Amino acid sequence: MESPSNLSALEEETEEVETDDGREGEDKLGGQSVFSPASIPPRPASQSFLKKYAPLQWSDYFDKEDDVRVPGSDNIFHVYMAGSGGPVVFCLHGGGYSGLSFALSAGKIKDKSRVLAMDFRGHGKSVTDDDLDLSIETLCNDVLAVLKTLYGDSPPAVILVGHSMGGSVAVHVAAKKVLPNLCGLVVIDVVEGTAMASLVHMQKILSSRMQYFPSVEKAIEWSVKGGPLRNVESARVSIPSTLEYDNSKKCYAYRTPLEKTEKYWKGWYEGLSEMFLSCPVPKLLLLAGTDRLDRSLTIGQMQGKFQMVVVRHTGHAIQEDVPDEFASLIINFISRNRIGPNGVEIPGLFKRTQLSAQRLLRIELA
């Protein structure tokens, strides 16, 4: 990991300040000035800065949070829930994110469907016996264990929605064909070919990002100015749950040391395209901007095996950057595939079944 030297660098970042005429200016904190001696300490963050990047509460978007204790283990998975009717949109976040990356979207979806977002092991508020075991098999077993603990052997209709690493987990879970009442699969911005090609650069990407933050507000600011997010409101909800306070360095650092999980990365994405196509449920692939589909996905799309939508003007975290559009895509997917609270609903089926039962009753009575 990097030395804490970049903490001081962060503290010396430029900060937006309001000038007398209302325009935004820049003042290099801690830098030399012709108007003041170098001995004067940096001034504290302005009230406008603290307000702009202040953390927001999960309860503004979700209805409930809970800890799911998996029987027979020491594993506790934190979940967020919203909505009271319809199928369950089960959300799986990407590596280094948390369940709160779906907060803004959940606030939009919950009027039409239930939403459940979990923190993977080693992420957010989840606590397990091995937080660094991010193998695809372990992550899949965690998802199945949470669903089993919550719903038993008769779960409601479930739509798996996964972003990045979570998308891979969603595909692997669906491909196992062991989840009762799985009715849909949505994968957010992950394609096998692109993901596998990027793995050789991942350690460099992780080491080049800001590692330490003097405050949560600074972490939120960096996430939208130099990090992966483009939506300040979403960052204010999700970023605090990805941090933890480092007492030894007296600053905030990432909760999840992704650089220590490299041995699992290849397993997340290898063979993902064929596995995605093999899942026997309606499928939606959401991509941020144009992305090259590999041969299997290109053929599969031409054959109508899945729906694909390219979402413009967004970064990697589509559900955070454009939550309104993302929520609309999920709601339309549910409607298009006629997914109800207990499974796929075929128009007129209940009515025909009811009439058949009435005729059978009349015959028996006669």
Q: Which residues are catalytic?
A: 164, 189, 316
CA distances from 14 to 2, 18, 140 (A): 22, 13, 43
Phi, psi of 158 (to 5 degrees): -120, 135
Residue ranges with strand state E in the chain: 14-18, 24-28, 64-69, 76-82, 88-92, 114-118, 158-163, 182-188, 212-213, 243-246, 251-254, 283-288, 307-311, 339-340, 343-344
Distance between CA atoms of residues 335 and 42, nearest Å:
55
Q: Across-strand partners of 285?
A: 187, 308
Distance between CA atoms of residues 51 and 285, nearest Å:
36
Distance between CA atoms of residues 47 and 11, nearest Å:
16
